[in-house]
Structure 1
Amino acid sequence: MTEGLSTGVAAEVERLTTELAALGEGSVRIGRPTDREGGPREFDILGGRGFISFLPVPRHECVYVCDITFYG
């Protein structure tokens, strides 16, 4: 999934997803959309130079990264 991304960007995505997974139930309220909880979410990375699309699964204490967009 991180093919073509710099090592720094891949490391930042990994760091963020680890923190999101550690939030447990709170991960369903992070990022967009802001008007509802759960389901697929988006979160800006590296000061708005990209975003990750992810699906939090608090019951399993994990986050599935669906897509990484980086504008570099």
Structure 2
Amino acid sequence: MAEVERLAAELAALGRDAIKVGRPLDREGGLREFDILAGRGFISFLAVPRHECVYVCNVTWYG
């Protein structure tokens, strides 16, 4: 939980540049994915610059 909170805070600190972080690499915006816990999971998020928000949509952990 602490790792997800830390990543969410860092994504929020990026501001408008959060639309360029993670997968997919070939485009900006939309639902993004970012690996967490050394590849043992990922976080899906939506960065919305117009709302000045980053929405964490899903966290998947492979245990």
TM-score (norm 2): 0.92
For these two proteins, the number of residue pairs brought into alignment is 63
Give me the whole-angstrom Cα distance separating, in 2, the residues matched to 1:58 and 1:17: 15
Instruction: Name the one with the larger strand percent.
Output: 2
Correspondence for 1:37: 28
Distance of 2:38 and 2:52 partners within structure 1: 26
Q: Which runs of 5+ in 2 are unaligned?
A: none
Q: Percent identity?
A: 75
Aligned counterparts of 1:20 and 1:61: Cα–Cα separation in 2:
11
Give the superposition deviation at 1:57.
Answer: 1.6
Q: In the alignment, does 2:30 pair up with 1:24?
A: no
SS of 2:23's equivalent? coil
RMSD over equivalenced CA pairs, Å: 0.9
Q: Which amino acid aligns with 2:57?
A: C
**Match for 1:52 among 43, 46, 51?**
43
Give the TM-score of the pair, scaled to structure 1. 0.81
Residue identity matched to 1:27: A
